[in-house]
Amino acid sequence: TPRVFSGAQPSGNMHLGNYLGAFKNWGKLQDDYECLYCVVDLHAITVWQDPARLAAQTREAAAAYIAAGVDPERAILFNQSRVAGHAELSWMFNCVARIGWLNRMTQFKDKAGKNREKVSVGLYVYPTLMAADILLYKGTHVPVGEDQKQHLELTQDIAQKFNHDFGREVFPIVEPIITGEATRVMSLRDGTKKMSKSEPSDMTRINLTDDADTIAQKFRKARTDAEPLPETADGLDDRAEARNLVNIYAALADLPVAEVLGQFAGKGFKDFKDALVDVAVAHLSPVTGEMARLMGDPATLDAILDRGAEKAAALAEPVLDEVKETIGLLGAGRRG
Ligand code: TYM
């Protein structure tokens, strides 16, 4: 049976890239699939997280999912550390994945930078935990932003090698769902860098907690060029900042890029940014408002996460038993 799994790290500063690349697409999938949406707190701690803030950040991520359209009555919404199977299966996958595969991960290279010897071991094996997240539920479809494509290819490689090594079709081969007009949202200050939670300057991103004035100010100060908007998308080649703003507009207005350019061709960025601010505020303020409302009631969020963890654990149990049995680990299926 098809099953959707996706997640985001509760590392603070949920932003427009997370929203357009991921959360915004999650709600629709609930009509056609069984969906699990997970707040991946074990992934977040691969880099230092302030213990006094991690719980609040976890609730904030859950609130962002719901505000963007995840329905806790229809989807399973939970935080990763509550279901022990994620960590268990990731260990088994550490024994399936090859060091050479992990050495090719561009996200690790970017995050570690020159500091390769000093980052946590967890950061290095981040992708095997991600594979475990999905395959613990035999997930088949994974809606993510473009930057996760390589991690999903690794997930496919792990499933394939596991099935091959043990001679059984235990795991499905996952299919990435990378949709929308803004699958890779860039920094507002530098069109060659991805919009990111960890970028020190807040002016580079729109946070999902920003109010209307802040959104307006950030877009007005966003870097662009002096040319007017082109008639067709190829006129945005070599204009990374301009392309980014057009993609953001298209995604927020739910229009194809061609139609946005049809509307604004020949106009300058001053006019375009005014329209962009209007669309962004109109689209995001209900999301922001709903997030704030939900975060004002942590007990309700905790109850939602409790129930989600219970349902997720029930789905994970038979899969983990099957995996242990396949590997030959004694006592698969016995509890306690
Ligand atoms: P995270 O928290 O870094 O990102 C969460 C989601 O947001 C997308 N995203 C973006 N999309 C477009 N433009 C951007 N600038 C941008 N920045 C982030 C990401 O692609 C992602 O979909 N490793 C995952 C979390 C994870 C996961 C999983 C996802 C852990 N286990 C299993 C799917 C399935 C991540 O990058 O989170």
Output the CA torsion sign for 206, 207, 210, 212.
positive
User: Is residue 157 a contact partner of residue 174, using CB atoms and an 8 Å limit?
Assistant: no
Residue 116 has pLDDT above 70, yes or no: yes
332 assigned to some structural domain: no
193 assigned to some structural domain: no
Same domain for 52 and 163, yes or no, is: yes
Q: Which long-range contacts (CB under 8 A, 24 or more apart) does 108-111 make?
A: 111/47
Give me the domain span that covers residue 25: 3-183+297-327
- What's the CATH number where 161 sits? 3.40.50.620
Tens digits of residue pLDDT in 218-253: 999 999 999 999 999 999 999 999 999 999 999 999
C-alpha angle with apex 112: 192 to 93, nearest 5 degrees? Answer: 110
> Closest residue (by CA) to atom 5 of ligand 1?
8
Same domain for 107 and 232, yes or no, is: no
Q: Strands 34-39 and 3-8, how do they pair?
A: parallel
318 assigned to some structural domain: yes
> At 157, is the pLDDT very low, low, confident or very high (cuts 50, 70, 90)?
very high
Output the CA torsion sign for 160, 105, 93, 5.
negative
Give the mean model confidence (pLDDT) for residues 73-91.
Answer: 98
Same domain for 305 and 285, yes or no, is: no
Catalytic-role residue among 24, 138, 194, 273: 194
Residue in 147, 150, 190, 198 to alter for ligand 1 test, most ligand atoms within 8 A of Cβ: 147
In sequence order, the 6+-apart residues with CB closer than 8 A to the CB of 289 are none
Residue 167 has pLDDT above 70, yes or no: yes
Among 152, 124, 136, 35, residue whose Cα is nearest residue 87: 136
Same domain for 81 and 169, yes or no, is: yes
Residue 99 has pLDDT above 90, yes or no: yes
Same domain for 159 and 130, yes or no, is: yes
Cα separations (Å) of 272 from 230, 260, 269, 285? 12, 10, 5, 20
Same domain for 118 and 260, yes or no, is: no
Same domain for 157 and 85, yes or no, is: yes
User: Is residue 125 a contact partner of residue 102, using CB atoms and an 8 Å limit?
Assistant: yes
What is the percent of the chain where pLDDT is above 90?
A: 96
218 assigned to some structural domain: yes
pLDDT on residue 336: 67
Same domain for 134 and 159, yes or no, is: yes
Compute the chain's Rg from CA coordinates. 21
104 assigned to some structural domain: yes
* Domain count along the chain: 2
Is 161 catalytic? The answer is no
Strand arrangement of the beta sheet that strand 141-143 belongs to: 76-79, 34-39, 3-8, 141-143, 175-177
Predicted model pTM: 0.97
Same domain for 159 and 226, yes or no, is: no
Tens digits of residue pLDDT in 188-218: 999 999 999 989 999 999 999 999 999 999 9
14 assigned to some structural domain: yes
Same domain for 239 and 95, yes or no, is: no
203 assigned to some structural domain: no
Pocket of ligand 1 (CB under 6 A): 5-9, 17-18, 21-22, 40, 43, 130, 133-134, 142, 144-145, 147-148, 151, 183-185, 194-195
Same domain for 155 and 301, yes or no, is: yes
> At 171, is the pLDDT very low, low, confident or very high (cuts 50, 70, 90)?
very high
> Closest residue (by CA) to atom 9 of ligand 1?
18
pLDDT on residue 334: 85
Distance 295 CA to ligand 1 centre (A): 22
Strand, helix or coil at 94? helix
